[in-house]
């Protein structure tokens, strides 16, 4: 028997018991006549104590041969500790071992297995199995497990059933790049790994499973950013005979349930905001509503006063940084440098300081009178002591730049507390997005998204203005998920493909299976997918998803632990009838 208890289990009430524990040696403190060992497993740490005179010399000698991360099995007596450790669940007791068995040795780990480790990112990725022994990562995986479990509980109670869909599917050009897998039995042909189970879940609706879900791996071959992974997990859902409201209520309910179950908190009801308002007020389709500073348009007030920068701009727009009139010249310069960084690209930053004495000072006083500036502060609802920060230029870019500045101000002023949650639904996205480079429309969500009923006539006349019956769930400025009511009619789906520049043959060849299915009694349906990794990270108060995935890839899409991707053997290539040749892309 390896253990009667775990290392997190024993309490004062267990004193006097003979127990067996197994685990890893976290730490040995050898004070000569006294030796303490911290024995660790997944459940916690239990202290072992050996004392010269009490413990046999042979056992003491044996313990002196142990090193960090050795795996041992200990038999001993539970005794009350003299100096208790209230930080530790087992801190009232310790074990007096009478025998220790070495189960396995360990090389010296390349970094310390402590909450605050000395290991750098790359090293920890290479020895991920050791990194996962550390509490913070272990806790993350436990949280992830709990979240998955509660997700299933919630959805099951509402009659959703989990159905697996295939991982080897067909490559389609929409969306991100596919990962492809060559088929040995069909030489020259490839499977693709799913970017999401989108078409399959829609087919399941045609099959009559009116409430489907799956906690499912998805694959996207995209250039990676800090919080993206080439494979990631979604809570993927679809419902038949529903309208948007019911979907939003169901999944708002789910997220509220998860926060309650996992964090014990009641999050606020979700605000609903349409895309146009989100862009106008926050310059982004995923606003962080933990703080105010919504945008105020000042174009009409700012123009016609001879200030060339504003007169030539399509949009003059500002935020009111409340209480920031005391910002020093240096602080404002730093903000100016921030917006001028190449990633943001503003030409400059204009400010109006509303001094405590009621006087107004702007960065171009010679063009604007006190009366002019008074109108600005009134529109921005500013009070003495506030500071207006203003950007100008082309509408779309200026809104985006001001979004960055607003978030930066939120950071500077400590208004983005990771333990404060502000959820919302963003609705009424545009159906299509025009791409200048390829001179064609792309689906903003995906090609199966239904246009807003009212806008259908505009598909022929003004497609760019058509709104989609699509929605995103946003929490704290992070897009947690998105979905839509789908097209369930062959004609409309065909029209959508036309708008996206598909010929009839292309549409038929790539998505014929779906359009054909629509001809066999497809019910009205819609759904959503939530980023499971991201939701877990958010619940834990973190931005990056990497440490919420057991074995993630690094920023170049590599798994440095197993060293993947890697070349394959010539024999494997031959079987696949593939040959490696370097081709330079235009
Ligand atoms: N399949 C979509 C996605 O992965 C979500 C959905 O529309 O349900 O983004």
- Give the pLDDT of residue 34: 96
Tell me the pLDDT band of 175, cut-offs 50, 70 and 90.
confident
The closest-lying atom of ligand 1 relative to the alpha carbon of residue 470 is: 7
Determine the average pLDDT of the residues in 66-78.
Answer: 97
Mean pLDDT, the chain, rounded, equals 95
Helix (H) or strand (E) holding 100, with range, is strand 93-104
HSE, CB side, 13 Å, CA atoms: give it for residue 151.
24
What is the CA 393 to chain-centroid distance, rounded?
32
pLDDT surpassing 80 at residue 195: yes
Q: Out of 426, 446, 450, give the residue to mutate to test ligand 1, the one with the largest number of ligand atoms within 8 Å of its CB.
A: 446
CA of residue 490 to ligand 1 center, whole Å? 20
CA of residue 196 to ligand 1 center, whole Å? 7
> From CA 280, how far away is CA 286, in angstroms rounded?
12
- Give the pLDDT of residue 226: 65
The answer to whether the beta carbons of residues 427 and 526 sit under 8 Å apart is: no
Residue (of 248, 216, 253) closest to 235 by Cα position: 216
pLDDT surpassing 90 at residue 228: no
Which residue has its alpha carbon closest to ligand 1 atom 8?
528
The closest-lying atom of ligand 1 relative to the alpha carbon of residue 198 is: 1
Domain 291-412 fold: Gyrase A; domain 2 (3.30.1360)
CA of residue 305 to ligand 1 center, whole Å? 49
Cα-Cα-Cα-Cα dihedral of 534, 540, 545, 546, to 10°? -160
Alpha helices (H) in 441-559, listed in sequence order: 458-461, 490-499, 504-518, 532-540
The answer to whether the beta carbons of residues 474 and 286 sit under 8 Å apart is: yes
Phi, psi (degrees; rounded to nearest 5) at 239? -135, 145
SS3 string, 503-523, reads: CHHHHHHHHHHHHHHHCCCCC
Q: Out of 482, 485, 487, 535, give the residue to mutate to test ligand 1, the one with the largest number of ligand atoms within 8 Å of its CB.
A: 482
> From CA 7, how far away is CA 27, in angstroms rounded?
14
Determine the average pLDDT of the residues in 405-420.
Answer: 96
- Asked whether the bond before 565 is cis by omega within 30 degrees of 0, the reply is yes
- Give the pLDDT of residue 400: 97
CA of residue 537 to ligand 1 center, whole Å? 20
CA of residue 445 to ligand 1 center, whole Å? 8
222 CB contacts (<8 Å, ≥6 apart)? 176, 177, 228, 230
- Percentage of residues in the chain having pLDDT higher than 70: 99
CA of residue 367 to ligand 1 center, whole Å? 50
3-state secondary structure of 173: coil
The answer to whether the beta carbons of residues 71 and 101 sit under 8 Å apart is: no
Least confident piece of the model among 180-184, 263-267, 435-439, 464-468: 435-439
pLDDT surpassing 80 at residue 213: yes
Per-residue model confidence as pLDDT tens digits over 288-346: 999 999 999 999 999 999 999 999 999 999 999 999 999 999 999 999 999 999 999 99
Determine the average pLDDT of the residues in 168-182.
Answer: 88
Residue 285: CB atoms within 10 A of its CB come to 19
Q: Out of 200, 216, 233, 236, give the residue to mutate to test ligand 1, the one with the largest number of ligand atoms within 8 Å of its CB.
A: 236
Domain 138-273+422-549 fold: BirA Bifunctional Protein; domain 2 (3.30.930)
Per-residue model confidence as pLDDT tens digits over 501-552: 999 999 999 999 999 999 999 999 999 999 999 999 999 999 899 999 999 9
Which residue has its alpha carbon closest to ligand 1 atom 4?
196
Per-residue model confidence as pLDDT tens digits over 455-490: 999 999 999 999 999 999 999 999 999 999 999 999
Phi, psi (degrees; rounded to nearest 5) at 527? -170, -165
Which residue has its alpha carbon closest to ligand 1 atom 7?
483
What is the CA 366 to chain-centroid distance, rounded?
47
> From CA 19, how far away is CA 216, in angstroms rounded?
42
Structure tokens at 78: 């539970």
- Give the pLDDT of residue 111: 95
Residue (of 223, 224, 221, 205) closest to 213 by Cα position: 205
Cα angle for residues 330, 331, 334 (degrees, 5° grid): 85
Determine the average pLDDT of the residues in 177-183.
Answer: 95
| DSSP annotation string for 2-59 | --SS-TT---GGGTT-EEEEEEEEEEEEE-SSEEEEEEEETTEEEEEEEEBTTB-HHH
Per-residue model confidence as pLDDT tens digits over 421-452: 999 999 999 999 998 898 899 999 999 999 99
Determine the average pLDDT of the residues in 179-193.
Answer: 96
Domain residue spans of the chain: 12-104, 138-273+422-549, 291-412
Which residue has its alpha carbon closest to ligand 1 atom 1?
198
pLDDT surpassing 90 at residue 90: yes
Residue 61: CB atoms within 10 A of its CB come to 9
Tell me the pLDDT band of 224, cut-offs 50, 70 and 90.
confident
Residues with CB under 6 A from ligand 1: 196, 198, 482-484, 527-529
Determine the average pLDDT of the residues in 356-381.
Answer: 94
CA of residue 328 to ligand 1 center, whole Å? 46
Tell me the pLDDT band of 223, cut-offs 50, 70 and 90.
confident
Determine the average pLDDT of the residues in 148-160.
Answer: 98
CA of residue 191 to ligand 1 center, whole Å? 20
Domain 12-104 fold: OB fold (Dihydrolipoamide Acetyltransferase, E2P) (2.40.50)
User: What spatial distance separates the first Cα and last Cα of the chain, rounded to whole Å?
Assistant: 65
Q: Which residues on adjacent β-strands are paired with residue 72?
A: 23, 102
């Amino acid at each position: 028997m390896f253990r009667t208890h775990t290392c997190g289990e024993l309490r004062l009430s267990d004193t006097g018991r003979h127990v067996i524990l197994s685990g890893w040696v976290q730490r040995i403190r050898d004070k000569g006549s006294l030796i303490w060992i911290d024995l660790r497993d997944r459940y916690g740490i239990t202290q072992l104590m050996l004392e010269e005179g009490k413990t046999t010399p042979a056992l003491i000698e044996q313990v002196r041969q142990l090193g960090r991360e050795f795996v041992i099995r200990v038999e001993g007596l539970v005794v009350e500790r003299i100096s208790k450790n209230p930080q530790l669940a087992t801190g009232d007791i310790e074990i007096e071992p009478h025998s220790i068995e070495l189960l396995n040795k360990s090389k010296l780990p390349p970094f310390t297995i402590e909450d605050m480790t000395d290991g750098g990112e790359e090293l920890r990725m290479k020895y991920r199995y050791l990194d996962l022994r550390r509490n913070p990562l272990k806790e993350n995986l436990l949280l992830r497990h709990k979240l998955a479990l509660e997700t299933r509980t919630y959805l099951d109670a509402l009659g959703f059933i989990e159905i697996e869909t295939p991982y080897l599917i067909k490559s389609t050009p929409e969306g991100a790049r596919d990962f492809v897998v060559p088929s040995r039995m069909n030489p020259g042909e490839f499977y693709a790994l799913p970017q999401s189970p989108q078409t399959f879940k829609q087919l399941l609706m045609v099959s009559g499973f009116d409430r489907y879900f799956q906690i499912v791996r998805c694959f996207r071959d995209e250039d990676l950013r800090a919080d993206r992974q080439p494979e990631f997990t979604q809570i993927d859902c679809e419902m038949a005979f529903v309208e948007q409201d019911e979907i939003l209520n169901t999944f708002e309910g789910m997220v509220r349930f998860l926060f309650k179950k996992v964090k014990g908190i009641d999050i606020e009801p979700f605000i609903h905001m349409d895309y146009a308002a989100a862009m106008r007020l926050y310059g982004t389709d995923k606003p962080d509503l933990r703080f105010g500073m919504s945008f105020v348009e000042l174009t009409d007030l700012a123009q016609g006063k001879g200030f060339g920068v504003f007169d030539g701009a399509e949009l003059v727009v500002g935020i009111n940084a409340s209480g920031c009139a005391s910002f020093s010249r240096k602080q404002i310069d730093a903000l100016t440098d921030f917006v001028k960084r190449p990633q943001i690209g503003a030409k400059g930053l204009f400010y109006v300081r509303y001094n405590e004495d009621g006087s107004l000072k702007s960065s171009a006083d010679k063009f604007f009178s006190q009366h002019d500036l008074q109108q600005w502060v009134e529109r921005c609802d500013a009070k003495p002591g506030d500071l207006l920060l203003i950007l100008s230029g082309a509408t779309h870019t200026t809104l985006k730049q001001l979004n960055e500045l607003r978030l930066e101000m939120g950071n500077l002023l400590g208004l983005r507390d990771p333990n404060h949650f502000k959820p919302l639904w963003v609705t009424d996205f545009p159906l299509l997005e025009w791409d200048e480079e390829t001179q064609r429309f792309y689906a903003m969500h995906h090609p199966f998204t239904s246009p807003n009923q009212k806008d259908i006539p505009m598909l022929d006349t003004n497609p760019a203005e058509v709104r989609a019956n699509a929605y995103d769930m946003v929490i704290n400025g992070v897009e947690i998920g998105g979905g839509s009511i789908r097209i369930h009619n062959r004609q409309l789906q065909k029209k959508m493909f036309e708008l996206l520049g598909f010929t009839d043959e292309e549409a038929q060849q790539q998505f014929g299976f779906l359009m054909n299915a629509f001809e066999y009694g497809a019910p009205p349906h819609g759904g959503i997918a939530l980023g499971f990794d991201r939701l877990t990270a958010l619940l834990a108060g973190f931005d990056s998803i990497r440490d919420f995935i057991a074995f993630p890839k690094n920023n170049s899409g590599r798994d440095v632990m197993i060293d993947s991707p890697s070349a394959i053997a010539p024999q494997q290539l031959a079987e696949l009838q593939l040959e490696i040749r370097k081709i330079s892309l235009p």
